[in-house]
Amino acid sequence: MPTNSTIRLLRHATLLVAFENTTFLVDPMLASPGSNPPIQDTPNQRDNPLVPMPAVDLTYDAVVVTHRHTDHFDEAAKGALETDVPLFCQPAEAEAFVEDGFTDVRPIDDVAVFNGIIIYRTPGRHGHGELAERMAPVSGYVFDSDQTLYIAGDTIWYDAVAETLDRFDPDTVVLNAGEARFTHGEPITMGVPDVAAVREATGGQVIAVHMEAINHCLLTRDELRANTENVRIPDDGELLTL
């Protein structure tokens, strides 16, 4: 990854990832505040998103979607994206994007290449036990250029995440934190113990996002900052240089 490569957190899990002359829009949730219903069976029933999109230049060359839950790809994104944009996704959801009218859908079985950047699809577990099975499928992605970026997606800490870290030895890891949860069962995204486990397992830079934008994400940035060390926790709109 060249030294001028960057990640900008837009909101929640929506990122702009720039490698030299190529920019990926990851997990576009583009709705205005309060225009999506709350996630049901959760500790509060606030309409989503909870916060606005920052005022940034939304220019990109391709779209990458980890999974089609509405906080990662919503109706506003469906309406705003150009239908011929190269759109990378997990194979199980490719047909749904075609039905949405996208004409350049590129499902990744294992690996793909775009503008010289290698993209590997990686596994995720969106919760624990039976709940994780109901939330599946989800994926993460590793972007391999001069350096390596691992976007873990909606997953908890488990063996496959550790194996991905061992396999790719990423320079930067982006984690979906927020400890999203329902009124029953365990959290379905990373909380403090998960983020701390990743921090312990990698020598790379760790960035935590996916907080304070959706009603069932209860872990705040301040709580995560107070309970972890050496983890970057950007604000909405913040640009990080890799």
**Model confidence over 28-84: pLDDT tens digits?**
999 999 999 999 999 899 999 999 999 999 999 999 999 999 999 999 999 999 999
CA 193 to chain centre: 19
β-strand 139-144 against 117-123: which pairing, if any? antiparallel
User: Facing residues of 17 across strands?
Assistant: 7, 24
* Strands in 62-179 per DSSP E: 62-64, 87-89, 105-107, 111-114, 117-123, 139-144, 148-151, 172-176
pLDDT of residue 146: 82
- Say if 190 falls within a structural domain: yes
Within-domain flag for 1: no
Q: What pLDDT band is residue 3 in, cutting at 50, 70 and 90?
A: low
Question: Which residues on adjacent β-strands are paired with residue 172?
Answer: 149, 205
Give the Cα separation of 164 and 142 in Å (integer).
9
48 DSSP 8-state letter = B
pLDDT at 2 over 90: no
1 confidence band (pLDDT: 50, 70, 90): very low
Backbone φ and ψ of 129, nearest 5°: 60, -140
The answer to whether residue 56 sits within a structural domain is yes
Q: How many structural domains comprise the chain?
A: 1
Q: What are the tokens at 141?
A: 């992605």
Give me the domain span that covers residue 227: 6-234
242: confidence class by pLDDT, cuts 50, 70, 90: confident
Classify 154 as helix, strand or coil. Answer: coil
Give, for 19, the enclosing helix (H) or strand (E): strand 14-19
Task: Name 208's bridge partners.
Answer: 175
CATH, residue 165: 3.60.15.10
Task: Give Cβ neighbours of residue 130 (< 8 Å, ≥ 6 apart).
Answer: none
Answer for the pair 71, 13: CB distance below 8 angstroms, yes or no.
yes
> Average pLDDT for residues 80-101, to the nearest whole number?
98
Residue 198 lies in a domain: yes
Give this prediction's pTM. Answer: 0.97
d(CA 135, CA 168): 26
Q: Please report, rounded to a whole number, the percentage of residues in the chain having pLDDT higher than 90.
A: 95
> Tens of pLDDT along 161-210?
999 999 999 999 999 999 999 999 999 999 999 999 999 999 999 999 99
Contact 157, 177 (CB under 8 A): no
Domain assignment of residue 108, yes or no: yes
Q: Indicate whether 240 belongs to any domain.
A: no
- Confidence class for position 241, pLDDT limits 50, 70, 90: confident
Domain-embedded: residue 242: no
* Residue 84 maps to a domain: yes
CA within 13 Å, CB half, 92:
8
